[in-house]
Structure 1
Amino acid sequence: MSWSNRFIGIPYEEFGRSRDGADCWGLACIIYREELGISLPEYLGDYASVEEHGEIAALIEDGATSPLWVPVEGPAIAFDIAVFRRGRLSTHVGIVIRHGLMIHMQGEDCAKLADYRGGAWGNRLKGHWRHVSRGVERPVQLVARAYQ
């Protein structure tokens, strides 16, 4: 049994950050807290509704330049965050189980597994990000930016 099986079926809830309901970032918060002991920023109050994709994209883009995240070079590993476009903006995340397989919030349904190498997600992948606590060295330009 994979660690991810414990999260399948968590229902969708806008701004949700618990097992009672979560959005895509809420699911990441739950998994990181329960599986890795890492508290991710919840970003509550930073956007009015999930329909405001521009604000969500800005949060994801800011996270991508945050000192907490490192872009992944090469294959993703368990617990990396996969970032996806919806339309022209990056507004969706999934948590990698193994390269090509993620758990994510499937629309307004519940947490499900998905293969993101093809199908609906294959051409939407913007990249993978790894939390700095997971032992990855930061590229020099990102370290410099973090201290500016």
Structure 2
Amino acid sequence: MSSPNNVSPPLGWQAPYIGLPYDFHGYDRSGLSCWGFACLAWQEQAGVYLPHFAEDLPAKGEFSTARIRAVNALVVQEVKLWDKLSAPRPLSLVQMRRGKNITHIGVYAFGGWVVHADETANGGAGAVVQTPLHELKHQITGYYWPSEALLSAAQKDENVPLN
């Protein structure tokens, strides 16, 4: 995506991810959920393994109130392990609402851009995209950085359990 005035987004660490396909349960380059993208970016860019939740989510393709509630519950529970920031910094998580529920996450990139796996991008097929921060302002509920405890545990284990 580009911003109004046809300004191209800067390409830094995020360049190899833009355009990767979306998959609701995905954690690798063959398909990524929004959280799967955050996990992959943190693993490859910072050497930190964040927890995976695919097994905790409803079946692929189930778009229902139960699915939305399950995702919202995971986000609300997971955010307790993160420190809230007053402003984003590179690689910080950008927590977003979709409607009334907090169900989406992105990763902040340089220059005011958010990189995220968006299931509505690419004609509805979904893809990893970057969106100007100002276009998402009405959806953003917070910026987060992993707590020291989470970072310490995450660097020791490839799949940190939630509890």
The TM-score, its normalising length taken from structure 2, stands at: 0.74
How far is 1:9 from its partner?
1.2
User: Partner residue of 1:72?
Assistant: 85
Identity over aligned pairs, percent: 23
Greater Cα offset, 124-133 or 45-54: 45-54
Q: What aligned pairs does 1:113-128 form with structure 2 within 5 A after superposition?
A: 113-118=130-135, 121-128=136-143
Give the 3-state SS of the residue equivalent to 2:54 in structure 1.
coil
Residue correspondence of structure 1 range 1-148 to structure 2 within 5 A? 1-49=11-59, 51=63, 52-66=67-81, 69-73=82-86, 75-98=87-110, 100-107=112-119, 108-118=125-135, 121-133=136-148
Partners of 1:78 and 1:99 within 8 A in 2: no
1:132 CA displacement: 2.5
Q: State the alpha-carbon separation in 2 of the partners of residues 106 and 22 from structure 1.
A: 9
CA distance in 1, matches of 2:54, 2:107: 19
Q: Which moved more, 1:36-45 or 1:94-103?
A: 94-103
Q: Cα deviations across residues 46-89 of structure 1 (Å, max 9, x unaligned)?
A: 121463111101111111112xx10002x211000001101100
RMSD over aligned Cα, in angstroms?
1.8
Preserved contact between residue 71 and residue 130 of structure 1 (Cα < 8 Å): yes
Would the alpha carbon gap of residues 76 and 99 (structure 1) be closer, same or farther in structure 2, given more than 3 Å must change?
farther
Maintained 8 Å contact 1:60/1:90:
yes
Structure-1-length-normalised TM-score: 0.81
Structure 1: gaps of 5 or more residues = 134-148
In the TM superposition, residue 99 of structure 1 has moved relative to its aligned partner by: 6.3
- Aligned-partner residue type, residue 35 of structure 2: W
Structure 1 counterpart of 2:152: none
Large movers: runs of 4+ above 6 Å: none
The secondary structure found in structure 2 opposite 1:3 is: coil
Instruction: Kindly indicate whether the alpha-carbon contact (under 8 Å) linking 1:83 and 1:90 is maintained by their aligned counterparts in 2.
Output: yes
Structure 2: which 5+ runs fail to align?
1-10, 120-124, 149-163
In structure 1, what is the Cα distance between the partners aligned to 2:34 and 2:118? 8
Distance in structure 2 (CA, Å) of the matches to 1:78 and 1:41: 20
The corresponding residue for 1:141 is none
Q: Is the 8 A contact 1:77 1:99 kept in 2?
A: no
